[in-house]
Amino acid sequence: MTTDLILFLFLAIISVAAALGMLFSRNAVYSALYLIVNFVTVALFYLILGGAFIAVSQVAVYAGAIMVLFLFVIMLLGAEELGQSQTLSWQRPLAIVLGVGLVAEILSVVLTQTGVIASASSLPEGFGSPASIGNTLFLQYLLPFEVTSVLLLVAMIGAIVLTQRNKKDA
Partner 1 sequence: MLPVSYYIALSAILFSIGALGVLIRRNAIIIFMSVELMLNAANLAFVAFARSYESLSGQVFVFFIMTVAAAEVAVGLALIVAIFRSKHNIDVDQMSSLKG
In the complex, the smallest distance separating the C-beta of residue 145 from partner 1, rounded to whole angstroms, is 8
Torsion angle of the four alpha carbons 109, 112, 118, 123, in this order, in degrees rounded to the nearest 10: 70
DSSP alpha helix (H) spans, 25-141? 28-48, 52-57, 67-77, 91-112, 130-135
* Residues 33/36/42/48 CA torsion (nearest 10 deg): -110
Tell the smallest beta-carbon distance from residue 158 to partner 1 (Å): 5
- Tell me the C-alpha distance between 156 and 163, whole Å: 11
Query: Residue 18: in which H helix or E strand, if any?
Result: helix 2-24
Q: From the CB of 43, what's the least distance to partner 1, in Å? A: 10
| CB 29 within 8 Å of CB 80 | yes
| CB 107, CB 30: distance < 8 Å | no
Residues 34 and 23: beta-carbon distance below 8 Å: no
